[in-house]
Structure 1
């Protein structure tokens, strides 16, 4: 059973919430734009506004027209690029290892482990 579809990372920008999905299509779009996940991560870590927009568009499956790109850039600028960057970094890191356990799976494993330790 594939674990690649284990939810999404939510990025809140102002009043809008963008759900970034863990999909092959998102990975391909990011790789096409940046040349790989690692270069995308480097650009996001540089607090690049353009990189943030591209990651959000790829992860949320958005096809943005130039005016929509400008509007999203403005929203990110107003929200603060420093506030938007951490969930984007988390998302990109998760794309590097999509078969990893989700937070829910880790919590369940911790509960089971704690239950087994008690006698």
Structure 2
């Protein structure tokens, strides 16, 4: 049985921080809004502001009023779409393969292995 808990990813947009969670609810919301996680990844890579906002909204479980969505769009634009894209791509990649380890989990495992071999 695959495990879908990667933990979370923190996305910083200006002064705000959003916690993106790995769960089926986020996947379904992204699919409903953009068609699929893969399409969302393509659109985020194209720096599509609407797709970026939808992924943040789905991943963070936000229900934004129109004025709040506009404020988030402005914050992403001001922070630079290129600055949030790598984190969103990593997040979407993990959603496509929930049983795999994230880059942070792999780094922790490597550090633990290095520490273990150093003690011998």
Q: When the two structures are superposed, what TM-score results if normalisation uses the length of structure 2?
A: 0.87
1:112: how far off?
3.2
Cα deviation, 1:69-109, whole Å, max 9, x if unaligned, reads 10100000110011011100110001001111243365235
- Mapped to 2, the partners of 1:66 and 1:55 lie a distance apart of 16
1:65: how far off?
1.3
Greater CA deviation, 109-118 or 86-95? 109-118
* Structure 1 unmatched runs, 5+: none
- Mapped to 2, the partners of 1:42 and 1:104 lie a distance apart of 25
1:115: how far off?
3.6
- Mapped to 1, the partners of 2:106 and 2:44 lie a distance apart of 28
* Structure 2 unmatched runs, 5+: none
1:22 maps to 22
1:93 maps to 93
Q: Is the 8 A contact 2:2 2:98 kept in 1?
A: no
1:107 maps to 108
Say if 2:58 is the partner of 1:31: no
- Mapped to 1, the partners of 2:105 and 2:92 lie a distance apart of 19
Query: In the superposition, relative to structure 1, how do residues 104 and 51 fare at CA in structure 2: closer, same or farther (>3 Å)?
Result: same
Paired residues in the alignment total 119
- Mapped to 2, the partners of 1:118 and 1:8 lie a distance apart of 31
Q: When the two structures are superposed, what TM-score results if normalisation uses the length of structure 1?
A: 0.88
